[in-house]
Amino acid sequence: MSDLQERAHALDTADALAPLRKLFTLDDTVYLDGNSLGALPRHVPARVQEVLTREWGELRIRSWDESGWWTAPERIGDRIAPLVGAAAGQIVVGDSTSVNVFKAVVAATRLAPEGRDEILVDASTFPTDGYIATSAARMTGHRIVPVAPADVPGALGPRTAAVLLNHVDYRSGRVHDLPGLTAAVHAAGAVVVWDLCHSAGALPVGLDEHGVDLAVGCTYKYLNGGPGSPAYLYVAARHQEAFDSPLPGWTSHADPFAMTPGYTPADGAVRGRVGTPDILSMLALEASLDVWDGVGIDAVRAKSLALTDFFLECVAAYAPEGRVTSVTPAAHGERGSQVALRCEDAEAVMAALIARGVVGDLRRPDVLRFGFTPLYVGFADAERAARVLADVLTASAAPAA
């Protein structure tokens, strides 16, 4: 074995989180796309089968009460809460990230002081956040102001009502300054909404500690909830009484089964609910969260940084000079749990990697993206991925015979 292979073996042997890998359905593939879709926890199919055959098949409508279906959105929200630094009673699960972004942005403008007409949006945001925020702005009579996260403090002013930001940039993996930017938004008298899709389950967030107002996130990446698993909405306890959802569905009513024509919002995070919960995917998510029992987010963060450090070291050692360049920050405080490499022929390179058993993904036109999920990715995976990448880059640069 090479020195790097020997180091990978030693690091895996010493890794306290390594035993968690056996909780997932994995094969010999190096799976580095958990930042798009997390791996399947082994016990989830049996739980879903139980929901199908007993709770739906036998109990049928009784399961809304007897199987706890009705309270699942809040119950599962309380299980996600520790992973993002929130106390219980502030997170409700349901709908997609996009729908929750809409709820949060509109609600933020309603929480903001009167007379403010601007919504600042992360200029590099994931497209759907921008689309939704722009539509929300049109509906509420606000103006959208795209701005780079680092430039937010200078762009804030007396017209700023709300600010929508991503904690981790989905292309580069850069971590934005959640504590500092939240404080700056509050100092300007505005309300902040954070998108946690690429940070929840990968690094500490500290929603309560840093006084975040509203936050949204998906559950199918680092939380391993399954394809299309429901997203979540965080409403800080101090805002819940005034939280005014633009989608006041019947399940967020104070007395949903009264079926009254007038809307009276429920207390607490329940106000973030809309329609009937998507029970099958929601209970699959609930089962998936079992893999987090006894796992501390600080330990996950430490392994994430060690994995990405090691991968970058291996790439530097193996890859032909000048073929790839990291666009992920080297500083630990600025790095999420992924490595993004700029590569001239990225699409062909990623296709070749996947064919050789290393699965990452592509962000066009030229970014290879590798996500490191500490619960099941090991150091040997990182070394092998870098070695195969180097082989692919070398082969693609060789002149045709």
Asked whether 200 and 217 are in contact (CB, 8 A), the reply is yes
Q: Which position among 220, 311, 372, 379 bears the catalytic label?
A: 220
CA distances from 164 to 42, 147, 189, 196, 279 (A): 36, 10, 15, 11, 29
Asked whether 25 and 42 are in contact (CB, 8 A), the reply is yes
The C-alpha atoms of residue 79 and residue 93 are separated, in whole angstroms, by: 10
Q: Which position among 369, 372, 376, 387 bears the catalytic label?
A: 369
Q: Which position among 31, 102, 126, 222 bears the catalytic label?
A: 126
Please say if 195 is a catalytic residue. yes
Q: Which position among 33, 129, 195, 278 bears the catalytic label?
A: 195
Residue 401 confidence class, pLDDT cut points 50, 70, 90: very low
Please say if 220 is a catalytic residue. yes
Mean pLDDT of the 28-32 span: 98
pLDDT score at 396: 84
Share of the chain above pLDDT 90, in %: 98
The C-alpha atoms of residue 160 and residue 156 are separated, in whole angstroms, by: 6
Residue 125 confidence class, pLDDT cut points 50, 70, 90: confident
Mean pLDDT of the 64-89 span: 98
pLDDT score at 245: 98
How far is C-alpha 311 from the chain's CA centre?
A: 22
Q: Which position among 116, 174, 221, 384 bears the catalytic label?
A: 221
State the maximum Cα–Cα separation within the chain, in Å, rounded to a whole number: 77
Asked whether 340 and 368 are in contact (CB, 8 A), the reply is yes
Asked whether 382 and 11 are in contact (CB, 8 A), the reply is no
Residue 318 clears pLDDT 70, i.e. is over it: yes
pLDDT score at 398: 58
Residues paired with residue 335 on neighbouring β-strands, in sequence order: 174
Place of tokens 């850069």: 174
Specify the pTM. Answer: 0.97
Asked whether 245 and 271 are in contact (CB, 8 A), the reply is yes
Summarised one tens digit per residue, pLDDT across range 282-316 is 999 999 999 999 999 999 999 999 999 999 999 99
Query: What does the radius of gyration of the chain's CA atoms come to, in whole angstroms?
Result: 22
Please say if 379 is a catalytic residue. no
Please say if 243 is a catalytic residue. no
The C-alpha atoms of residue 200 and residue 196 are separated, in whole angstroms, by: 6
Please say if 22 is a catalytic residue. no
Whether the link from the prior residue into 365 is cis, omega within 30° of 0, is yes
- Please count the residues of the chain: 401
Summarised one tens digit per residue, pLDDT across range 167-192 is 999 999 999 999 999 999 999 999 99
